[in-house]
Each structure stands twice: as C-alpha cells, then as structure tokens.
C-alpha cells in the first residue's frame, strides 16, 4: 500500500505553529491555534458516535466481513487479469447498494503481465531446487532456460567493482536488509544494473527482514537502451547459502527457467464514490486503497485492508446521517502494484 493519497484541507497550515499565534492563509483568515482546537473539540460527540458504531454497533466487524467475502470470492487480482476486473465490478455494485453518491468508474490503461511456470535449480556444487518468484514485468527465459555460473554481490558498488566477472553469468544479489525503502532498490533496479555489465539474468534476495523460506515478488523496471534480462527473487536462506559457498571459492551453477510474458496494456478502472460536501463541495478529502494484488496471494492486506477501511469511513458517516462540509471521496485504485498506474492516471485526469 504505497500510493495512498490523502488531502487534508487546511491541516498543513497547523505545522510548526505554537498555541496562540495567528494562522494566515492567503492573508484572508486569521485564526489562532486555540480557536482551531476549540472548533475541533466541538466534534467530540460526532467522533464518539462514529467510534461506537464501528466498534460496538451494527458496523462492528463489517469491514472485515466485506473484505473476507471479496478475497474469498475473487482471490488474487493481478493487473490485467479477469479477476481484477471482476473485483472492480463487484465493488462498483457494492458502493451503489451502500447508497453512496456519484459512484462511477474512471477508465485506466494498465499493464498485463503473467508469471507462467518458473523454476531455479542449483546444479553445482550440489543439486538444490530453490523457491523463486519472478519479478513483475520480467521477461521470460528461452524454453530450455538459462544455465550459467553465478556471481554473488552484496551491493551495486560491488557489482561495479567486479563488472568484468559478471559477463555471461547470473548475478545474485545478497544485499543486506536495511529498511524497505533503501533495500527495495535492488528489486526495482537489479536487472538493469546486472544487464549493464553483461549478465544473463539476475536473482535478488527477498526484500524482507525475516524469512521462513519465503520469496517475495514486486515490480521491477527496465531501462531504455539496456538489454532486458530475466529477473526473480529467491529466499533469504538461499541467498545466504549461495553467498557462503561463493566465499569458500565454490563454483556455483544455476539453471533458471521462467515462462513470464508481457501482453498489451489492458482496459481497467479506478472505482470512485463520494459523500458530497454541504458547504465546500469543490474541496475534496480523498481516502483510498488499491484493489489489485499480486498473483501469489489474495491481497487481503496489500491492499484489501486499506481499500475496505476507506470504504468503511464513508459507510460510517452515511449510516449516521452525517454530511461533511467538504466532499469525502473514496477511490479504489487499479494497478498500484505496477507502479501506481491508476493513481498516476487519476492525477493526470484531475490535476
């Protein structure tokens, strides 16, 4: 859930302000921090009513039950798949039946990539079948696969230092996990950097702080002018083992087979619903999550949870008969996993 967009009107003007100091917005409104605190405090009863409905009332567990029904019924929802479009149509009907306003679909063109069959087998110094997951948008291998010696590196800097050794090999990144934002660059850029030095394929260590022999998938990006090579993720355990073997001077050979294919962009939709504001309808508070998921899980938390919590926010307000001053807009993004495609096209349409 990486591309959620929230617009909080006026909140930015509160940052770095001390109590009692005047707040200026375009030299029009002059309100003290204390006055704003007092206004917020007047919503105490409304906030309590929302909490009671969600936690103790008829809406208790509702968002969980709604989410469970969708993921159990539809399952994985990868970009370009029939299951994603089925989920979008289900949500479109659900939002209409929930009595929300301005329920509609906004067309988006999205990538269509399919994994196919895939395998990785270490042939030397011993035979070992490894768990792998191809990375999103990766090309496939020839039907016979790619069989090559391995070069193990821990960073892009080490890859550059050892560039002459990489030609004709499979680069294995055993990058240490620092944090997600820093370490994920090896997933996103690993294939391009390996291809630049003549590698035939690349494998990355799962971008995770903990593993139970669990490979992770995610988007990777090719670069114009750089050869496209197959790329996949292996487990932390296998990456560490291969690294130990390399440190002993073992010759390591892997056979990689990937049936991945990229298809022409598919038609899809962002799904939108609103509660129209009573006083400032042109001002929008946006709550959102994405409906698509990768193909190897049902996307219950990435990002079914975010999508259904956002829906629930509107449902609770509607059920209590409340009408916010500003328009509350729900957007369920499509193709977030492919790089925020739905969010980007929404921005282009509404900017």
Question: Model confidence over 138-193: pLDDT tens digits?
Answer: 999 999 999 999 999 999 999 999 999 999 999 999 999 999 999 999 999 999 99
Backbone φ, ψ for residue 279 (5° rounding): -115, -40
- pLDDT band of residue 67 (cuts 50, 70, 90) is very high
Domains 49-112+264-350 and 116-259 share a fold: no
Provide CATH code, domain 49-112+264-350. 3.40.630.10
pTM recorded for the entire structure: 0.86
CATH topology of domain 116-259: Glucose Oxidase; domain 1 (3.50.30)
CA atoms of 57 and 51, how far apart (whole Å):
9
Average pLDDT over residues 52-58: 97
Contact, 306 vs 348, CB < 8 A?
no
Query: Percent of the chain beyond pLDDT 70?
Result: 92
Name the least confident of 8-12, 168-172, 185-189, 282-286. 8-12
pLDDT number for residue 20:
43
pLDDT number for residue 31:
78
Q: What does the domain layout of the chain look like in residue ranges?
A: 49-112+264-350, 116-259
CA atoms of 301 and 71, how far apart (whole Å):
10
Catalytic residue selected from 193, 274, 336, 337: 336
Average pLDDT over residues 258-286: 97
For residue 336, indicate whether it is catalytic.
Answer: yes
CA atoms of 293 and 270, how far apart (whole Å):
14
**Tokens matching residue 124:** 């030397």
pLDDT over threshold 90, residue 275: yes
pLDDT number for residue 30:
72
pLDDT over threshold 60, residue 241: yes
């Amino acid at each position: 859930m990486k591309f959620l967009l929230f617009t909080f009107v006026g909140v930015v003007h509160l940052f770095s302000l001390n109590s009692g100091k005047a707040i200026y917005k375009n030299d029009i409104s002059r309100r003290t921090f204390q006055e704003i605190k007092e206004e917020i405090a007047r919503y105490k009863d409304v906030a309590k009513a929302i909490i009671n409905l969600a936690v103790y009332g008829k809406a208790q567990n509702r968002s969980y039950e709604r989410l469970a029904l969708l993921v159990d019924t539809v399952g994985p929802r990868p970009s370009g798949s029939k299951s994603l479009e089925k989920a979008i149509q289900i949500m479109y009907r659900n939002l209409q039946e929930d009595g929300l306003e301005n329920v509609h679909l906004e067309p988006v063109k999205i990538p269509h990539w399919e994994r196919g069959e895939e395998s990785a087998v270490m042939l030397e110094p011993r035979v070992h079948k490894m768990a792998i997951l191809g990375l999103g948008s990766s090309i496939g291998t020839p039907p016979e696969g790619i069989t090559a010696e391995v070069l193990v590196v821990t960073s892009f800097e080490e890859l550059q230092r050892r560039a002459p050794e990489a030609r004709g090999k499979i680069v294995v990144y055993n990058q240490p996990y620092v944090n997600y934002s820093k370490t994920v660059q090896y997933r996103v850029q690993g294939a391009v950097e390996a291809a630049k030095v003549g590698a035939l394929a690349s494998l990355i260590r799962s971008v995770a702080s903990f593993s139970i022999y669990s490979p992770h998938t995610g988007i990777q990006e090719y670069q114009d002018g750089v050869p496209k090579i197959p790329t996949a993720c292996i487990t932390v355990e296998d990456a560490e083992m291969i690294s130990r073997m390399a440190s002993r001077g073992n010759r390591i050979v892997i056979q990689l087979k990937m049936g991945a294919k990229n298809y022409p962009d598919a038609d899809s939709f962002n799904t939108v619903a609103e509660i129209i504001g009573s006083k400032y309808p042109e001002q929008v508070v946006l709550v959102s999550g994405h409906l698509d998921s990768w193909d190897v899980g049902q996307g219950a938390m990435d990002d079914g949870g975010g999508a259904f919590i956002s829906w629930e926010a509107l449902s609770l307000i509607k059920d209590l008969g409340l009408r916010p001053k500003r328009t509350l807009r729900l957007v369920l993004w499509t193709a977030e996993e492919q790089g925020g495609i739905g969010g980007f096209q929404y921005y282009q349409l509404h900017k």
